[in-house]
Structure 1
């Protein structure tokens, strides 16, 4: 085995492996999140801020670094307020376990595509308005309002009766879940992109509005024009009736619709990229074979002095500590929290001159740092009763 490989195995700790694993999962979540269209602007801004901060550190930009140090909380609050919808969208995806698993879907049944195709073509010819929502992977809860739960088997007569002009729920949308009519009379958010609507009415504005918020597919029939339109991924397209069945079948299969049979399959490539990136970051910033020494002056504290007793002066109050180890280990050290902590009460019984080894009473020192020297090596004090003064 080559020498450098042997040294690598000797230096890698379990904590390092855990560190890489945690960063890998964080990168995995971020990459999957950024692949979603709604979160790309959030990712671009976040990456831009990180790059700007890195440049400020690299080129010693005093004012920029100062702005980051004192304005980080304000930047974070502004970030959350501006991108609250994207952040909420990401947590919804996380709650639905879409970050870690994707679905291998068997595709819609012929009954679903056949019934929808027949109903849409019939209503288009009769100039009957219709709006059908087919969820994919994203939850729809916060985007839709109202509606009546029916949970009925999908059929041509039922769809025609729901969208009949004299039906109370014909102006709302029908929600299809698990290849059944789950809810009717649902209200959808309206799109504000007038240029994409091209003079279409409220029904099409609702279809496009939902398609802009999530990955659901919405099929709309225009009662004025007698056309069939599919809205998906923030876009609308008029579909020829002869191609409707194929379009529905392809879109539902590719979009992992909510009624398909799911077989979990991990985002393997994304996971490998995340692990490789985290490993490279560890080698760049954490792995260091050079050993350095640093000296600190740390306080000595006396704990649990018996009631009615005190430590006579002079007593040691500071220790000079020299540590050695790799640079990343010193980055984990907080000098202000390092202390020699001495328990007085247990030792005080039977003696007025307790003593301690300084090194064995060190606190808050990372385990990968070694003590080269500490002065005083031993602490001896004199206890006296307060009445003896």
Structure 2
């Protein structure tokens, strides 16, 4: 009997659950949330290929450990520090994008919002909104490709510097003329800040989301790309179909009408409007879902 008791004390007692408090549960939830988001982020970027490569290396390391292959183990241990630095350098864009998405999180942004724009009643005038909407659909009628980026709280100075400065009041005539074929400013994106067109022919980052539909061209990928790294609203006019789409927060919504576009622009300045029935493209594809 004493042998049995001693066995349970030595080998089974460690199986008893430790005391778990409220802080422990809270800590477990935070870690689980972090791990889930890291896995989701990894699967949507090139880092997923890196993870599969690391798994292969881990299997090789286990085989070398079992077979006691000292030279291979020595190479692994000596190259691990260099490998970590190489991973950081190669995947720097992905790490930067992950930190930018963390900073744009709705739970974090209010804590560090030092912009005084929220104290202003309106970001755009009604004339500006009407000019953007009119120009978008006039361009769509003639199947003239266009890319219009409307800045919100995150400055787009980095992309503004890649284009040609204009600094002019927004008007439908000016926007239509900019994107007219065979004009010096038609290629690239237009950036709008407040009631002014600040620059044209701007270069935007292309989205590297592997789940986007294959029928999307460079213009749509650029519109989604800039919406992934900022809180801007991007209007895309397709040159092939003549349809108007919008991209915001990594989400692409295709074939929108004038009322929906006007309400979306007004929502950037928290202006109350009459929300009419939204007519969306039937059969939303995978790329129209929110990209986390």
Give the TM-score range, shorter chain: 0.5 to 0.7
Partner of 2:13: none
Partner of 2:130: 114
Distance in 2 (CA, whole Å) between partners of 1:41 and 1:136 is 28
Aligned residues of 2:227 and 2:234 also touching (Cα < 8 A): yes
Counterpart mapping for 1:25-40 below 5 A? none
Counterpart mapping for 1:205-354 below 5 A? 205-254=221-270
Change in 2 beyond 3 A, CA 1:86/1:192: closer
Change in 2 beyond 3 A, CA 1:99/1:163: same
The structure 2 residue matched to 1:83, chosen from 95, 99, 102, is 95
Aligned residues of 1:112 and 1:154 also touching (Cα < 8 A): yes
Partner of 1:132: 148
Change in 2 beyond 3 A, CA 1:119/1:42: farther
Which structure has the highest helix share of the two?
Answer: 2
The structure 2 residue matched to 1:166, chosen from 174, 182, 206, is 182
**Structure 1 stretch 231-240 or stretch 244-253: which is displaced more?**
244-253
Counterpart mapping for 1:85-100 below 5 A? 85-87=97-99, 99-100=112-113
Partner of 1:192: 208
Aligned residues of 1:190 and 1:210 also touching (Cα < 8 A): yes
Question: For 2:133, what is the secondary structure of its paired residue?
Answer: helix
Aligned residues of 2:166 and 2:197 also touching (Cα < 8 A): yes
Distance in 2 (CA, whole Å) between partners of 1:133 and 1:210 is 8
**Structure 1 stretch 186-195 or stretch 76-85: which is displaced more?**
76-85
Matched, 1:178 2:178: no
Q: Deviations over 1:305-327 (max 9, x none)?
A: xxxxxxxxxxxxxxxxxxxxxxx
Aligned residues of 1:145 and 1:187 also touching (Cα < 8 A): no
Distance in 2 (CA, whole Å) between partners of 1:154 and 1:192 is 31
CA apart distance, 1:158:
1.0
Change in 2 beyond 3 A, CA 1:200/1:91: closer
Q: Deviations over 1:60-83 (max 9, x none)?
A: xxxxxxxxxxxxx99x98899673
Question: For 2:138, what is the secondary structure of its paired residue?
Answer: helix
Distance in 2 (CA, whole Å) between partners of 1:149 and 1:106 is 27
CA apart distance, 1:90:
7.1
CA apart distance, 1:196:
2.8
Partner of 2:288: none
Distance in 1 (CA, whole Å) between partners of 2:256 and 2:136 is 11
Change in 2 beyond 3 A, CA 1:170/1:44: same
Q: Deviations over 1:286-308 (max 9, x none)?
A: xxxxxxxxxxxxxxxxxxxxxxx
Distance in 1 (CA, whole Å) between partners of 2:210 and 2:127 is 35
Q: Deviations over 1:206-231 (max 9, x none)?
A: 10111111111100100110100000
CA apart distance, 1:198:
4.7
Change in 2 beyond 3 A, CA 1:97/1:195: closer
Distance in 1 (CA, whole Å) between partners of 2:255 and 2:172 is 20
Distance in 2 (CA, whole Å) between partners of 1:97 and 1:134 is 21
Distance in 1 (CA, whole Å) between partners of 2:215 and 2:177 is 27
CA apart distance, 1:168:
1.6
Partner of 1:290: none
CA apart distance, 1:88:
6.5
TM-score (normalizing by structure 1): 0.41
